[in-house]
């Protein structure tokens, strides 16, 4: 099992996503982005939304329409490897602090992995 680092988000409320996790494994995060909310009906003081894809393999039910005849719907099972997580923040400073923290931890993991790969490569080259 590869070593990893964890990050816990601060000063946020949950967004619209159905999947939520507060302590995230940095290795499982991809595609982090944010935007300013256009419509703030709920949680109006939280103006920014942070999105990220999180590796979370799961099966989920999907509704497929049947067209023709009387019509109807059928439930099917779909497999998905990622879940989208959304969190809301009050200020741009809070969002950027979270993104910077995630990027810093990702960089640390990349350096760790590169060092381990170099060690394995050197071991292999000296063994042959």
Q: What is the pLDDT of residues 80-101, one digit of tens each?
A: 899 999 999 999 999 999 999 9
What pTM was estimated for this model as a whole? Answer: 0.79
DSSP 21: -
pLDDT at 71 exceeding the cut of 80: no
Using CA atoms, how far residue 32 sits from 29, 61, 64, 95, in Å, is: 8, 26, 30, 11
Both tokens of 33, joined, read 């982005």
Delimit the domains of the chain by residue range.
6-55+82-123
pLDDT at 61 exceeding the cut of 90: no
């Amino acid at each position: 099992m590869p070593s990893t680092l964890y990050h816990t988000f601060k000063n946020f409320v949950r967004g619209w996503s159905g999947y939520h996790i507060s302590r995230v494994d940095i290795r499982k995060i991809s595609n982090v982005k944010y935007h300013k909310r256009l419509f703030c009906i709920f949680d109006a003081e939280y103006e920014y939304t942070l999105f990220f894809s999180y590796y979370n393999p799961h099966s989920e039910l999907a509704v497929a329409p049947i067209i023709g005849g009387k019509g109807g719907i059928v439930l099917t099972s779909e497999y998905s490897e990622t879940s989208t997580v959304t969190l809301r923040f009050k200020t741009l400073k809070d969002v950027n602090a979270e993104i910077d923290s995630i990027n810093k931890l990702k960089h640390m993991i990349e350096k760790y992995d590169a060092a381990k790969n170099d060690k394995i490569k050197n071991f292999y080259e000296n063994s042959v």
